[in-house]
């Protein structure tokens, strides 16, 4: 009974807000999504944005489906409450484990006219164009790899592409702890690059399928044999969003365009703004919120 009442109140609240234009919401388990936010904001500077990082509960990469779904659902609900009409899950793990259920189960209950989009589909769409050998390697968190999302999505669009996945569980902690230039990073980057290439020598494209990994890009290049393309998602996701808004003027009209960005985190604000400068290279103002 309580659950039904809760859902009713939640739905009523979204109906009240649903026609009011608002910002684009960008969600990640922590800082990683800032690599996506940065590219989106540069491609579409006139829009307003709210970035939400669930830093208090990061990492998501090692958590179960049920937990990642529950956390992501809470985050999307919070961004909707803040007036966001469109939310981008700028996190591969959340896109892999929660996006479909939120789109199919939660959105129709909350407000079917709002949208939640992920980062996997736009990345997958680029694969046939990028890979000449049609052998692609996916570097991601354990959660994204065990979900098989990339393999399934690539198989649907491009069945002729062979996909090899490699879980790199230490890479997110290296980035989160600002250790991505350390000897520890050398060890863990080399380990996974060597391992994935030994499993398929035909790979000509490695996808950085975790939003934290672009910060390890220079380190990865040190251990990458020549002729292999390292594919970062940010620009691709930004291009795909630009394209989406062009094709959906009804959504574009519901997005405010004041050129502002707000940053929310579930951890201490000071900690977030300090770490965010590593990702964005400029100072930001941050507010701490609770989302559970
Ligand atoms: N940034 C997230 C992703 O793209 C992973 C970070 C985490 O494990 O929380 O998958």
Domains and CATH numbers, the chain: 2-118+236-288 (3.40.50.1860), 121-233 (3.40.50.1860)
Query: How far apart are the CA of 210 and the centre of ligand 1, in A?
Result: 6
- Among candidate residues 6, 84, 168, 210, the one labeled active-site is 210
* Interior/surface letters 10-33, b for 16+ CB within 10 angstroms, e for the rest: beeebeebbeeebbbbbbbbbbbb
* Interior/surface letters 56-70, b for 16+ CB within 10 angstroms, e for the rest: ebbbbbebeeeebbe
Distance CA 173, CA 60 (A): 11
Rounded to 5 degrees, φ, ψ at 51 are -100, 130
Provide the residue count of the chain: 292
Distance CA 32, CA 39 (A): 12
CA–CA distances in Å: residue 204 to residues 66, 68, 95, 193, 209: 34, 31, 25, 12, 15
Distance CA 14, CA 16 (A): 5
Strand (E) positions, 31-180?
49-53, 86-89, 115-117, 135-140, 162-167
Distance CA 175, CA 90 (A): 16
The answer to whether residue 91 is catalytic is: yes
Q: Are 50 and 82 a contacting pair, CB within 8 Å?
A: yes
CA–CA distances in Å: residue 244 to residues 55, 77, 88, 116, 150: 29, 22, 12, 12, 21
Query: How far apart are the CA of 169 and the centre of ligand 1, in A?
Result: 10
Q: Which atom of ligand 1 is nearest to the CA of 32?
A: 1
Look at residues 162, 99, 93, 75 and name the one whose alpha carbon lies nearest to residue 127: 162
Q: Are 120 and 93 a contacting pair, CB within 8 Å?
A: no
Q: Are 27 and 55 a contacting pair, CB within 8 Å?
A: no
Query: How far apart are the CA of 237 and the centre of ligand 1, in A?
Result: 16
Low-confidence ranges of the chain (pLDDT < 70): 1-19
Per-residue pLDDT at 277:
84
Per-residue pLDDT at 1:
47
Ligand 1: which of 28, 38, 138 to mutate, most ligand atoms within 8 Å of CB?
Answer: 28
Cis peptide before 221 (omega within 30 of 0): no
Tell me the three state secondary structure of residue 53: strand
């Amino acid at each position: 009974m309580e659950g039904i009442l809760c859902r009713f109140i939640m739905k009523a609240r979204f109906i009240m807000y649903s026609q009011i234009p608002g910002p684009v919401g960008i969600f990640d388990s922590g800082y990683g999504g800032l690599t996506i936010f940065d590219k989106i904001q540069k491609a579409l500077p006139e829009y307003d944005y709210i970035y939400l990082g669930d830093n208090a509960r990061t990492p998501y990469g090692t958590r179960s489906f049920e937990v990642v779904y529950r956390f992501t659902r809470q985050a999307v609900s919070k961004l909707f409450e803040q007036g966001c009409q469109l939310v981008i899950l700028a996190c591969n793990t959340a896109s892999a484990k929660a996006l479909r259920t939120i789109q199919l189960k939660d959105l129709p209950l909350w407000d079917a006219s709002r949208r939640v989009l992920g980062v996997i589909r736009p990345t997958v769409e680029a694969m046939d164009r990028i890979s000449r050998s049609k052998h692609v390697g996916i570097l991601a968190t354990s959660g994204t790899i065990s979900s098989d999302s990339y393999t399934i999505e690539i198989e649907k669009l491009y069945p002729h592409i062979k996909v090899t996945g490699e879980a790199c569980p230490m890479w997110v902690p290296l980035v989160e702890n600002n250790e991505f230039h350390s000897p520890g990073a050398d060890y863990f980057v080399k380990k996974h690059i060597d391992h994935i290439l030994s499993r398929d020598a035909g790979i000509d494209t490695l996808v950085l399928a975790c939003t934290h990994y672009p910060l390890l890009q220079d380190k990865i290049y040190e251990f990458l044999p020549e002729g292999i393309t390292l594919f970062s998602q940010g620009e691709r996701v930004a291009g795909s969003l630009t394209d989406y808004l062009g094709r959906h003027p009804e959504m574009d009209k519901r997005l405010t365009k004041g050129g502002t960005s707000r940053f929310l985190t579930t951890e201490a604000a000071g900690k977030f703004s300090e770490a965010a400068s590593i990702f964005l290279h400029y100072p930001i103002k941050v507010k701490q919120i609770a989302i559970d």
